[in-house]
A and B are shown apart, each in its own frame.
Chain A
Amino acid sequence: MSDLLIQPPSSPVNSEVAPRAEKLVRRRVVDLLVRDARELERRRLGTIAMAIVAILLLAHRRLNYDSLAVLALESIGSMIFLLLASRTAKCAISKRLATEAGAIEGATSSAWSVLFMTTSVAMPWITNPLAKQFGNGNGLEIVMLTSLGWGGLALALLSFQFRTLSLSVVCSGFLTLFATFISDSPIALWFSLVWGILCLWWLVNNYWAQVETAAAVRIQPARFQRIVFTLFGCAVFLVGAFFVAGRIPVVRKLQTELIPTSGGTTGKDSAARRGVGNGDALIAAKKHATSFGAVETDVFLDSEQPSLFDVFSDEFGEPKKKPKRVERAQALSPQDVKSEEGRFTEANRAASSSEFSIERELPEERKPVDDLVAESLMFWQGESATHLAAQRFSHFDGAIWSNSGVIPHASARPIECTIIGQQSWFGPSGTSVQNSISPFVDSLPEAIKFTRYRSPTIPTRQGVQLWCIDQIDQQNFFAISLDGCLQMPDREHVPDYTVVRMINSRIDLERLEDLVRNCSPGKSHKELADDCRLDLNRLAHIYAGNLPRGWQQVQSIVSGLRTQFVLDRVSEIVLSDSIIDSESLALNRFLEHRRGPDYLFATAAALMLDHLGYRTRFVAGFYANPKHYVAREGEIAILPSDAHAWLEIDVGHGYWIPLEPSPGYREPQYTASIWYQMKQHRWAIAMWTLTVSATALCIYLLRGLLIEWVSWVAYPALFLVNDRIRIAWLTWLLELRCQLAGVPRTKGTVLREHLNRFRTCLPGDLGEQVHLYLESADRMWFGGMSRLSKSDQAAIVQVWQGLTTRTLRRGNRQMTEGQLA
């Protein structure tokens, strides 16, 4: 750009300008060979120091929430690959500079160096998904920053140009700046101060001399051009912003708010502590709990957040009313009605929450969820596809699941408290969840955070060992009902933003099988219409067949339903509405049309298993849908649409195991030893082993033919490579062919001597071509020749095509026969 006219004092005014191409070539040569190596190394040390400071700053930020093991693994992996890249790069350079023959090897080493460097920079991307599987992991921006840090260090270590070193400084500077801004700790400022000092020293040390020598005698600034370019840049920015503003979701969010709040606008963030317009927020049970007192006002008490009953009704439809009950109601005096009304209301309320009807009305149409975070009832921090039980029912009268008169909220099992690391943990006393026969093994730390949940029941998975809430140390805060559900008995609902941490278990398949095999048959206490019962029993026998009592039999019922039936929440309701007179026909319709909602799947499975002699119960709760994973939070949002029904089976000794008969929902995960899994899949393993062995045997027997095919396919590539590589490939191929023909070249035998034995037995002029190939190979490899003549190249091609395994075999046979003769 001719904007500035700089006349350095050292260069004459009328110096000739070197041609552009020559200048570029000269610059590269200067960078690589002519420039003082010590200067490069001196700059490199400072650059490495800055990159390390930036990485340490980010690591310090990550240590606040990330796992040390993950951080260490990622760092060690990146360092190892960086060191490998550095080593191979040095080898590459030494080989290239050594001999001209080392240029090819040098290129190979360079390729390895690039691969190692790329792996090092990409290490955060590789480890992050693995970390998320174990409940750790980072957001996208942290992963990008970490990659940037390692990229800066890689540039500092591996670059051989000053420009690349400068780029490393830019990377580490950006990382330092960003990490300082997002860090809460004051120590981050010290890191950035250290980086700043290093950078200043680096700049002064490396560029001061250039500034001095390039000090201009006179500068003529061109102001007009500066103004024009500035205005042009602004115009481009504004026009571009205008065009993209309404089209990119992120920009749309920025239009409403810059920082996500806890409510008020659409950009809600469950982790936001401060914000504008708190809406329904009633923050409790956290460090920064606040209350603005409006909770005492009736208006605010009447919240729109759904209760458990509301959730199920919204998702599955309202239970159909029973007109006959009303008809059988007895008239009461006004005073009795008044007193009964309250009781009736309470009883109704109690009954509606302690039973689940499979005869339901059509649910209201719900609009699709825009914002998972805003619409969620709670957040699950644990394994995806987990079944969280909120209600359990063991009695079925043909239409309604209930607990046969048992008050669900009455506490059934005492709770004991254990202090672990200054935190009170609670668990059911008496029979421990894990013992020698329990199917529940391992310890899984999980948590659940409530946001818009209006029920005192805490949804849990089967096998919960311990739970806790920060700062809660009273056992009477919790209760376990007769149906095994965990509750807060003295509260209307679990307070918003309460985080319940749990230690859960996995289900061991081997123990489960033992338990199921040995558990005693259960009593049937489920009433059902005869025709429905006959259909279910018939299906049960079809699916279970002649399987003996045990886990396989149970699984056959579940898999039969999953494969033969279709999950359809809407059609059942539509069908039921079209039939006027119905009495417990939902199950009939389900069996007839083979489609229906999940509660009918659960009901059908429970009844079929009951017929086979297993005690079952109906469970209503929530399903942690993997599709509702909120990456930003690392949690799964539980929405009202995640309300789900399944069943549990009694495997004996008081253990209940969840079963998932609805297709589209993942079955509960089981754990088993490697040996057990292999035993389960032994036939598949045997088949695969046989297939692989057979394939390998075929390949081995036909290896000669395969090699010839490959050489035929690869033949055109001969014309794309240089003569040296052509000879190398042919040599490799000939040695392989000799091996396949049963005449391998021994270690100490020169190829020339080895092939010369067959030359006289080769057909046509192939012997002569082989001789030409050997001569040309000797000249190229040992004689320093760089190019072959046309005839030599043609000879190579002819030998490639002509000296096949079969030809060698035949030649060897002829030679042997000749010797014998």
Chain B
Amino acid sequence: MSAIKEPISISSNCKQSIDLLRSRLNKVLLGKADRMELVIACLLAGGHLLLDDLPGLGKTTLAKAIARCFGAKFARIQCTPDLLPTDVTGFNMFNQKTREFEFHHGPVFSDILLADEINRTTPRTQSAMFEAMAERQVTIDGESRTLSPVFFVIATQNPIESHGAYPLPEAQLDRFAMKVEIGYPDRAAQLAILNQVESRYHDTTMEGESLSLGKLQELQSHVQEIRVAPAVQAYLVELCEATRSHESVTLGLSPRGMLIWQRVARAWALLQNRDFVIPDDIQAVAKPVVGVRLITRGQPSSNVIESILKEVEAPSYR
């Protein structure tokens, strides 16, 4: 039973920041406003994003755009089979001049990290990444080093190429807040893309006011204050239990997944300019959040999630 909190109001400052972020990202990926909402929700919820998409759809562009929005440090890892864990986390190297070991930071010490084709690297390297994602710290030679407080990972995996790939195990998938498929842009968006002035070094989309990492942290803490009514929590619990008892589900939602779901729903409510979560928010983020961690048999997870949403009674106003 949660304590009844006083409703908070969404400050105009907060709304402006969200609108700015939204508009900038929508300019980067044209025709994908709904996907951008999910990405922003994931970012505000403090989770990590898994993009399960074909090459050339703008994943790297998206990650860079997010970093530029907040003036954050961006790093990219191309996951190959020969990638070592130290390539991800960093390593200590002996400096001949100073006669001391110097730590060379790995890509995880950035604010926004794009891990491309994460399913192509070895499980050993994957685990080093996931430790950083889960703990927000890395341990190298016995010394723990904390990562950025807004450390955000966008991992991608190619659904086509399976040869030479190391599919992510269920426990690792649970580290991600959600899985999003960007997909191909529609016709109008494709035309707009062609007409867009391409400049590798000059990006006009980020001109003007920019956000800061502090603003991002503020938004993330705001998300934690969004109210979740007991009825909505009960609904969430019922949905989670339904995922465990469904006949087509091999592995249902864990309590960690349930917490992430609630967090993402809060972020979604904030994006709708609400200071409380409604059942619609739970349903809106169900597929991306649950889809990344649900193991099904016989039918795709999206179908299973849809059937679960239909079967569980949604709370009403009585």
Interface residues of A (CB under 8 A from B): 98-101, 727-732, 735, 746-753, 777-785
Residues of B within 8 A of A746 (CB): 310
Of the four ranges (under 10, 10 to 19, 20 to 34, 35 or more), the interface on chain B belongs to 20 to 34
Known contacts A748-B313, A778-B276, A783-B275, A728 near B283 by CB under 8 Å? no
Who on chain A is nearest to B5 by CB? A784
Contact of A752 among B230, B274, B280 (CB under 8 A): B280
Cβ-defined contact, A777 with B276, below 8 A: no
Interface residues of B (CB under 8 A from A): 1, 4-7, 227, 229-232, 274-280, 283, 309-318
Alpha-carbon distance between A409 and B8 when the two chains are bound, in angstroms: 103
Who on chain A is nearest to B310 by CB? A748
Cβ-defined contact, A784 with B276, below 8 A: yes
Who on chain B is nearest to A785 by CB? B7
Cβ-defined contact, A781 with B229, below 8 A: yes
Residues of A within 8 A of B310 (CB): 746-749
Alpha-carbon distance between A780 and B316 when the two chains are bound, in angstroms: 12
Cβ-defined contact, B279 with A750, below 8 A: yes
User: Can you name 20 A-B pairs with beta carbons within 8 Å?
Assistant: A98-B1, A99-B1, A99-B4, A100-B4, A101-B230, A748-B312, A750-B279, A751-B317, A753-B283, A781-B231, A781-B315, A782-B231, A782-B232, A782-B278, A783-B229, A784-B4, A784-B5, A784-B227, A784-B229, A785-B7
User: What secondary structure prevails in chain B residues at the interface with A?
Assistant: loop
Residues of A within 8 A of B275 (CB): 783
Starting from the known contacts A731-B317, A732-B318, 20 additional A-B residue pairs (CB-CB under 8 Å) come to A99-B230, A101-B230, A728-B317, A729-B318, A730-B317, A731-B318, A735-B316, A747-B310, A747-B311, A747-B314, A750-B279, A751-B317, A752-B278, A778-B274, A779-B7, A782-B229, A783-B229, A784-B7, A784-B227, A785-B7
Contact of A750 among B5, B6, B229, B283 (CB under 8 A): B283
Alpha-carbon distance between A625 and B265 when the two chains are bound, in angstroms: 78
Contact of A783 among B7, B280, B314, B316 (CB under 8 A): B7
Alpha-carbon distance between A728 and B318 when the two chains are bound, in angstroms: 5
Contact of A748 among B229, B276, B311 (CB under 8 A): B311
Residues of A within 8 A of B316 (CB): 731, 735, 750-751
Known contacts A101-B230, A728-B318, A731-B318, A783 near B276 by CB under 8 Å? yes
Known contacts A746-B310, A747-B314, A777-B317, A782 near B4 by CB under 8 Å? no
Who on chain A is nearest to B6 by CB? A784
Who on chain A is nearest to B232 by CB? A782
Alpha-carbon distance between A30 and B277 when the two chains are bound, in angstroms: 38
Cβ-defined contact, B313 with A747, below 8 A: yes
Residues of A within 8 A of B276 (CB): 778-779, 782-784
Who on chain A is nearest to B279 by CB? A750
A781 to chain B, nearest CB (A): 5
Known contacts A782-B277, A784-B5, A784-B276, A747 near B230 by CB under 8 Å? no
Residues of B within 8 A of A748 (CB): 309-314
Residues of A within 8 A of B283 (CB): 750, 753
Q: By CB atoms of chain A within 10 A, which of B4, B5, B6 has the most?
A: B4
Alpha-carbon distance between A244 and B231 when the two chains are bound, in angstroms: 64
Who on chain B is nearest to A730 by CB? B317
Q: By CB atoms of chain B within 10 A, which of A101, A728, A784 has the most?
A: A784
Residues of B within 8 A of A753 (CB): 280, 283
A506 to chain B, nearest CB (A): 54
Cβ-defined contact, B6 with A749, below 8 A: no
Cβ-defined contact, B6 with A727, below 8 A: no
Alpha-carbon distance between A98 and B234 when the two chains are bound, in angstroms: 15
Who on chain A is nearest to B230 by CB? A99
Who on chain A is nearest to B309 by CB? A748
Contact of A781 among B6, B274, B317 (CB under 8 A): B317
Alpha-carbon distance between A779 and B229 when the two chains are bound, in angstroms: 10
Alpha-carbon distance between A313 and B142 when the two chains are bound, in angstroms: 125
Alpha-carbon distance between A210 and B283 when the two chains are bound, in angstroms: 61
Known contacts A784-B4, A784-B7, A750 near B314 by CB under 8 Å? yes
Who on chain A is nearest to B312 by CB? A748
A41 to chain B, nearest CB (A): 24
Q: Name the 5 nearest CB pairs between A and B, nearest first.
A: A728-B318, A783-B276, A748-B310, A731-B317, A782-B229
Residues of A within 8 A of B274 (CB): 778, 783
